[in-house]
């Protein structure tokens, strides 16, 4: 009887794991679809230099604000894109929170994704549906 219970537990665990994998894959964009367009990242780089570089450094290395590449950025890995966008859109600029227009904050986010190795694609990132996607873990 204990053996049957153990087999049943393993089967249930396998089924649960399989559903989890399918759900995770459904949440992740394909590499071909990307997360943003290259044009958004270019615009985001310009907006970043104007709006963010004073605190976060011209090369995102940090300064008065934390670095925005590498380990510090990937604290957002596995979280919804809306979490990152909210930080950019509502908490920045430090001296004027919420002053970054939505389009600029989306483009800055595209630039940050690009600089952290997240692939570009053909579909632009926007501030509605796309923000429900989960950022890839690193």
- Prediction pTM value: 0.71
Cis amide leading into 93 (omega within 30): yes
pLDDT tens digit at each of 138 positions of the chain: 555 444 344 333 333 333 333 333 334 444 457 889 999 999 999 999 999 999 999 999 999 999 999 988 888 777 787 888 888 888 888 888 888 898 999 999 999 999 999 899 998 988 765 677 777 776
- Residue 57 confidence (pLDDT): 96
Q: What is the pLDDT of residue 24?
A: 37
Sign of torsion over alpha carbons 107, 112, 118, 120: positive
């Amino acid at each position: 009887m204990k053996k049957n219970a153990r087999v049943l537990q393993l089967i249930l665990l396998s089924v649960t794991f399989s559903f989890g994998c399918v759900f995770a894959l459904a949440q992740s964009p394909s590499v071909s679809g990307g997360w943003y367009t290259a044009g958004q990242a270019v615009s985001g780089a310009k907006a970043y230099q104007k709006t963010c570089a004073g605190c976060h450094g011209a090369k995102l290395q940090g300064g008065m604000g934390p670095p925005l590449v590498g380990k510090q950025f990937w604290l957002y890995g596995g979280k919804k894109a809306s979490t990152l966008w909210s930080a950019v859109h509502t908490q920045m600029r430090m001296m004027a929170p919420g002053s970054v227009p939505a389009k600029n904050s989306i483009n800055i986010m595209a630039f940050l994704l690009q600089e952290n190795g997240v692939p570009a694609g053909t579909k632009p990132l926007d501030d509605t549906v796309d923000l429900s996607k989960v950022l890839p873990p690193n």
